[in-house]
Chain A
Amino acid sequence: MSAESSSSSSSNSPTSVANMNNVSALFQTAKKYEELNVIGTGAYGTVYKARDLHNGGQIVAMKKVKVPLTQDGIPLSTLREIALLRQLEAYKHPNIVRLLDVCHGGQPLDREQLVLFLVFEHVEQDLDCYLKRAPGPLSENRIRSMSFDILSGVDFLHSHRIVHRDIKPHNLLVTSSGRVKLADFGLAKTYDTDMKLTSVVVTIWYRPPEVLLCLSYNTAVDVWSCGCVLAELHLRSPLLPAATDTQQLQRIFRLIGRPSEREWPADCSLPLASFPPCPAADLRALLPRAHPQAIHLIQNMLVFDPAKRLTALDCLQHPYFTDNPNL
Chain B
Amino acid sequence: MELLCGERVSPVSAGAAAAAGRAGPDPVLLRRRVLDNLLRTEERYAVSANYFGSVQHELTPHMRRLVAEWMLEVCEDQNSQEEVFPLAMSYLDRFLSVCAVSKTQLQLLGTACLLLASKLREPGAAGLPADLLVFYTANSITLNDLYSWELLVLSKLKWDVAGVTAHDFLPLLLTRLPLGALVDQDMVTRHAQTFISLAARDYGFTLYSPSTLAAGCVAAALRGLGLDGHLPRLTELTRVDADCLHTCLDQVELMVQATIAAAAPNEQRPPWTPPQDKPPASAATPTDVRDVHF
Using a CB–CB distance below 8 Å, which chain A residues touch chain B?
6-8, 10, 12, 14-18, 20, 22-23, 26, 69, 71-74, 76-77, 79-80, 82-84, 86-87, 90, 102, 104, 109-110, 114, 158-161, 189-199, 214-220, 267, 311-313
Contact = CB atoms under 8 A, between A and B. Distances in A.
A8 B82 CA distance: 29
Contacts of B20: 196
Given A10-B98, A10-B156, A114-B151, A79 B124 contact: no
Of the candidates A16, A71, A80, A196, the one having the most CB atoms from chain B within 10 angstroms of its own CB is A196
A267 B19 contact: yes
B55 A218 contact: no
Contacts of A80: 119-120
B21 A86 contact: no
7 contacts: A26-B152, A71-B130, A79-B161, A109-B144, A197-B21, A197-B23, A218-B23
Given A8-B159, A17-B100, A194-B22, A219 B168 contact: no
B206 to A, nearest CB: 17
A10 B155 contact: yes
B11 to A, nearest CB: 11
A196 B155 contact: no
A158 B100 CA distance: 38
Interface in B92-126: 98-102, 105, 109, 115-116, 119-121, 123-126
B147 A73 contact: yes
A77 B120 CA distance: 9
Given A10-B156, A15-B100, A79-B161, A195 B44 contact: no
B227 interface: no
Given A72-B130, A161-B168, A191-B29, A18 B22 contact: no
Of the candidates B120, B125, B148, B159, the one having the most CB atoms from chain A within 10 angstroms of its own CB is B159
B100 A18 contact: yes
Interface residues of B, number: 62
B171 interface: yes
B159 A86 contact: yes
B114 to A, nearest CB: 12
B44 A20 contact: no
A84 B162 CA distance: 6
Given A196-B123, A218-B26, 14 more contacts: A26-B151, A69-B147, A74-B116, A79-B120, A83-B160, A83-B161, A86-B159, A86-B160, A90-B44, A160-B38, A197-B22, A197-B23, A218-B24, A218-B28
A50 B199 CA distance: 47
Interface string B149-179: 1111011101111110001100100000000
B106 to A, nearest CB: 10
Contacts of A20: 148
Of the candidates B21, B38, B100, B163, the one having the most CB atoms from chain A within 10 angstroms of its own CB is B21
B162 A12 contact: no
B129 A72 contact: yes
B123 A195 contact: yes
A15 B31 CA distance: 42
Interface of B: 18-26, 28-31, 33-34, 37-38, 41, 44, 55, 81-83, 98-102, 105, 109, 115-116, 119-121, 123-127, 129-130, 144, 146-152, 154-156, 158-163, 167-168, 171
Contacts of B31: 159
Given A18-B101, A22-B152, A76 B126 contact: yes
A10 to B, nearest CB: 7
A101 B143 CA distance: 27
A8 B158 contact: yes
B150 A74 contact: yes
Contacts of B100: 14-18
Contacts of A17: 100-102
A76 B167 CA distance: 21
A25 to B, nearest CB: 9
A194 B23 contact: yes
B29 A72 contact: no
Given A17-B100, A83-B162, A199 B126 contact: no
A267 B83 CA distance: 28
A14 B98 contact: yes
B41 A193 contact: no
Of the candidates A7, A79, A312, the one having the most CB atoms from chain B within 10 angstroms of its own CB is A79
A74 B37 contact: no
B66 to A, nearest CB: 19
A102 B123 CA distance: 25
